[in-house]
Structure 1
């Protein structure tokens, strides 16, 4: 018999780590114990995936977009409140509202409070504020989190780095329950099958013997994709046979295309757009890269683990919890493109080292398996239900 109704709230289901782990959670929560709902914005690449989840009560809210707009956000707050109140009235069970991402986290928690939800949980997949913003905007986002924290019953940060930021901001005052819940994965989805990598290389006209460095990321400021192009240009000067791919799309695509042209890499830098065949991309690559300026705990670092591939990444937020410098890959400061290129070159020049780091990464996979994450989350829900 279901113990509770769990309602997940997130903005559009774009192709990203927070969205993928939210859908995984909605798909696999034990239906004998939980009635599972999802409220999300419309128009994301993963909408069809959400529709395909069995026994999921799915609602698309046209007001729940990613852009911040005061008038639209007020309409969203009213709409979410009405939806949550209607679900709560229909259910005789306790209601847990579990919000994801910054905007849905703020609006969703206030809507849950207004609707009288029994428990309000917020998953921290990184924060909406970062050092690259004007100070006043960063402070406004911090204030929004601080004002919303008192109506939050529990937090689920994806990394201890995010937990520490929450603690410094005073979000955890009063001894609020917290569960660090890394962005886990189903490893079998990403462990390469024989021949997959070679087949993808043939499709892209990349020689089998050519070193291949790949980055899988949305082309948005957070991921700093033009820095990957700059690093690739430096690597290409030392390794003329090397190829590169960038799988993803977004607002910075024109800048990325211009950077590739300026670096004269058009014949060796493959802009792939959005791709769902992540396992094939991982199989084809020799090294994975991630040039993010801020993060929660990036899902691609775990996908690289599953594929036993080394990663060169920036030392930001939760990334060092997945990439161990010198053991499973390399970490560099986000501003140091020269060091980033140097680590990529080192792995290209020493395939044995790359294989060793990849094997070490795969050995850490047990810490990030989705089955373990789900059981921990269900136990956390049980704990919160017992405390109410």
Structure 2
């Protein structure tokens, strides 16, 4: 019976993205445990699997001295538990863990990169800080898994452990059946948020941080509010910029046009009550919420970053625009608002655009990785 340890910087990553992966491995007979900074309670379904949860003091800030303690913790965990595979996620925990366990020759280390922090057109500081770190840590990695073509091309240039290999999979997997709601009371759900049936709703599902770039949509909404008072934006999520974003909304007089609803557990309902789902990130590994919206037949819009442009066909199911191009963002909203063809995606278009990203296909790719095979393009 093989033992696997899943490692993330913070526990919310487990809850939001990795739960079905862990459930699938346990169903196959693997022993799976988790090491993470437990900033949020782990999902009860995960805990119900009987896994061990190791609370490790990973910090999101790469240079925090607390990561040295996390390094020592990871060595002790591996010494006591002797895992066959350690599967790391998120940049800081991944680097710290790979450094800590780099000399363990009997251990296989897998790293899923959900989006390198350096990217084409990105700030120089990201390249100076993260590129050398990822290149170095690759030498302690047996399999480097990427989720978009740009990162895959970079990963293939890294030198991995002897016999190691980079591969690409299609994200973390979308559970389509969970997002298609039968007998959905759209009007009732909108009413609970203070939205009317006639409102045109733009939904943003993202942490309130600098990278997610909510200000781009806020500024676009300020251009549109006079002509289209029925266009409403809904921000679902919490984060360090909550106060700043509220201040921007107030300063631009958008209190009736942009609402912040905080962290939500009814994401499926929010997607189904919306007209379009948007991401305005400066850096995006793929964009799971956009794929979730697509399987619900919703239009999508996003900044032209490496993740969204991987699957958005311009004019077919969504629109891309440049980062910080507020005018183009406003025009995109106006175009979708005015055009009936954007309002509903056909089942054929949904299937063609999203099938490879479905959970069952991603799990099949991961299982091949665990069996020693890499899935390539």
Q: Distance in 2 between matches of 1:324 and 1:69?
A: 39
- Give matches, 1:224-373, under 5 Å: 224-356=213-345, 360-361=349-350, 363-373=352-362
Tell me the residue number matched to 1:181: 169
Tell me the residue number matched to 1:22: 18
- Give matches, 1:161-200, under 5 Å: 161-167=150-156, 170-171=158-159, 176-183=164-171, 184-200=173-189
Q: Distance in 2 between matches of 1:354 and 1:154?
A: 41
Change (3 A) 1:291 1:112: same
Contact 2:118 / 2:131 at 8 angstroms: preserved in 1? yes
Q: Distance in 2 between matches of 1:22 and 1:283?
A: 23
Contact 2:211 / 2:281 at 8 angstroms: preserved in 1? yes
Tell me the residue number matched to 2:10: 12
- Of 18-27 and 364-373, deviating more is 18-27
Deviation at 1:271, TM superposition (A): 0.4
- Of 22-31 and 75-84, deviating more is 22-31
Tell me the residue number matched to 2:71: 77
Q: Distance in 1 between matches of 2:346 and 2:213?
A: 24
Q: Deviations over 1:322-381 (max 9, x none)?
A: 322211111111131211111111111123332147872354221111112112211211
In the superposition, the TM-score normalised over structure 1's length comes to 0.89
Contact 1:309 / 1:359 at 8 angstroms: preserved in 2? no
Q: Deviations over 1:142-194 (max 9, x none)?
A: 111111111111111111222123245x3569773233122211112222332
2:117 is the alignment partner of 1:128: yes
Q: How many positions carry a matched residue from both structures?
A: 373
Unaligned runs of 5+ in 2: none
Q: Deviations over 1:237-262 (max 9, x none)?
A: 33122211010111111221111112
Contact 1:29 / 1:374 at 8 angstroms: preserved in 2? no
Q: Distance in 2 between matches of 1:137 and 1:296?
A: 15
Q: Distance in 1 between matches of 2:60 and 2:197?
A: 41
Deviation at 1:51, TM superposition (A): 4.6
Deviation at 1:305, TM superposition (A): 1.5
Change (3 A) 1:76 1:210: same
Tell me the residue number matched to 1:60: 55
Deviation at 1:202, TM superposition (A): 0.6
In the superposition, the TM-score normalised over structure 2's length comes to 0.91
Deviation at 1:78, TM superposition (A): 0.5
Between Structure 1 and Structure 2, the one with more helix by share is 1
2:53 is the alignment partner of 1:35: no
Change (3 A) 1:317 1:133: closer
Q: Deviations over 1:24-62 (max 9, x none)?
A: 211222544422121111112x5234653414232222x
Provide the alpha-carbon RMSD of the alignment.
2.4
- Of 125-134 and 182-191, deviating more is 125-134
Contact 1:38 / 1:56 at 8 angstroms: preserved in 2? yes
